[in-house]
Amino acid sequence: MEQVEVKDSEGHGERGVDMEDAWAAVRGRLSELVSVDAFERWFKACRLVEVENRVAKIGIPNEIHQVWIESNYMTELHAALNEMVDEVVEVQLVIEQAKVAKSEVVQESVDSEDAEDLFPDTVGEDDGIEVEKRLKRVGLNPSFTFDSFVVGANSQFAHAACEAVATGKGSAFNPLFIHGGPGLGKTHLMQAVGRQRLASEASGKVVYMTCEKFTNEFIDAVRKGDLERFRRRYRTAEMMLIDDVQFIAGKERSQEEFFHTFNTLLDGRCQVILTSDRPASEIKNLEPRLVSRFECGLTVELQPPGFETRLAILQHKVAEWGVKVDDGIIRLLAERLTTNVRRLEGGLMRVGTFASLAGERVTVDKVEHLLRDLFREENSRQVTIDSIQRLVAEQFDMRLADMTSRRRPASIAVPRQIAMYLSRTHTKCSLVEIGDAFGGRDHGTVIHAVKKVKAQIETDRQVREQVQFIESELRR
């Protein structure tokens, strides 16, 4: 095999070969050394970052790739690098998360002067490769696609809205505001829209950024007296994806700038998608005019997936990653890891890696041991009647003791009924146990409270919003 010579970390070797060419050669060799499946799954989204002093750095998209490649394919990776590039003594896997990669990309673009660099307008001869390149450039994670997102009742509406925006049928959903707890797929769905736009429109000007990044760049631009360039860069986008918008809370000047950027983008018919860990109206210290701008399109929520959906997500990941784990173990993970999808992924990865390395069947005891920290955390996150009572008392500014007292003014009775309703819907406690926890009330009183609050949620907006807010706090 002919070797591609690589000498420095600037992307060029003595023969002017850049990292992309070198990696293409390594990929070619790797595709001969590992199965087609493994190659597609584990090496497609990687790149050669540099080779310096015989140490090769390989950029990988996430921790899962790291565990998997380190456990299974280091020999092949070494061999391919040695044959195609240079004799390397060490291979380092470096996680290039989308959010981090994006920052680097944007920074490069600042240096290279203006907005044109952010949005390459031409597509090369090979559209497929071009799309992958553009994904990287924009900072989108190649694995965040619609195909890899498992839809359940918890995400149906958000998924449908994102698909509509991606296919151009949701232009009225502007901005699209996606909120929900951590690890529930907000970034995944948002980036899937960006990906589709990039894949379908040759000149789609897509920008992905975290709100933290926006704020930092803004502060930097103010410091350098370079606001004009900052504005030029962001106000010419056709699709703007902004992650973790809650980060802007309490930052007055950044909010001011954000407000104007936002207006310019919407006036220019740019599609804006925002994600947040809570609804706009619940972001503390967010200017009311921004709240109302965020709410003027469509707001969708991602909720934690139910058991069936967790099971489906795990089954999908098992197939996608090619891990070998018994169905019984998959069910166990779906039963025990309930808070979010990131945890499900983490649990499955650990179990799958053990199975592959140890080459033995994973037993329930082994899972208990391997995932003991995750299970412990899940247990401590369990919603209890006590945690509900505390939260409701805090929200309604009443004494905790009144949850169990006999006092009956509406300012106490109404929150107490809400707390009973939440105890019934968010814990596995029986009516009798709930009655006991509320000062020894009988189960009929609990049934009455649950019915009443249920009806009020349907008819009374204020009660509905109060209950929804407490529910979102319980999930944190």
Ligand X SMILES: Nc1ncnc2c1ncn2[C@@H]1O[C@H](COP(=O)(O)OP(=O)(O)OP(=O)(O)O)[C@@H](O)[C@H]1O
Binding residues for ATP: 183, 185-187
From 56, 184, 298, 371, residue interacting with ligand X (rule: CB under 6 A): 184
Measure the CA–CA gap between 60 and 58, rounded to whole angstroms.
6
Burial of 30-47, coded b for 16+ CB within 10 Å and e otherwise, reads bbeebeeebbebbbebbb
Ramachandran region, residue 9 (left: φ > 0; alpha: ψ -120 to 50; beta: rest): alpha
**Assigned token pair, 385:** 């009647």
Return the number of the residue (217 or 277) whose C-beta is nearest ligand X.
277
Measure the CA–CA gap between 445 and 438, rounded to whole angstroms.
10
| Closest of 93, 1, 110 to residue 47, by C-alpha | 93
At 393, the amino acid letter reads A
Residue 341 within binding range of ligand X, rule CB under 6 A: yes
Binding mask 296-325 for ligand X (x = CB under 6 A): -----------------x------------
Residue 161 within binding range of ligand X, rule CB under 6 A: no
3-state secondary structure of 268: coil
Residue 149 within binding range of ligand X, rule CB under 6 A: yes
Q: Which residue is nearest to ligand X (CB)?
A: 185
- Interacting stretch for ligand X, rule CB under 6 A, among 175-183, 285-293, 407-415, 445-453? 175-183
Residue 276 within binding range of ligand X, rule CB under 6 A: no
CB of 82 to ligand X, least distance (A): 32
Half-sphere exposure of 368 (CA within 13 A, CB side): 3
Residue 210 within binding range of ligand X, rule CB under 6 A: no
Return the number of the residue (13 or 152) whose C-beta is nearest ligand X.
152
Residue 247 within binding range of ligand X, rule CB under 6 A: no
Return the number of the residue (88 or 161) whose C-beta is nearest ligand X.
161
Residue 176 within binding range of ligand X, rule CB under 6 A: no
CB of 342 to ligand X, least distance (A): 4
CB of 118 to ligand X, least distance (A): 23
Read out DSSP for 219-260? HHHHHHT-HHHHHHHHTT-SEEEEE-GGGGTT-HHHHHHHHH
CB of 8 to ligand X, least distance (A): 34
Residue 185 within binding range of ligand X, rule CB under 6 A: yes
| Closest of 429, 466, 421 to residue 446, by C-alpha | 421
Measure the CA–CA gap between 386 and 356, rounded to whole angstroms.
42
Read out DSSP for 117-152? GGS-----S-HHHHHHHHHHHHT--TT--STTPPP-
Residue 234 within binding range of ligand X, rule CB under 6 A: no
- Interacting stretch for ligand X, rule CB under 6 A, among 9-17, 148-156, 370-378, 418-426? 148-156
Residues forming the site for ligand X (CB under 6 A): 144, 148-150, 155, 180, 182-188, 277, 313, 341-342, 345
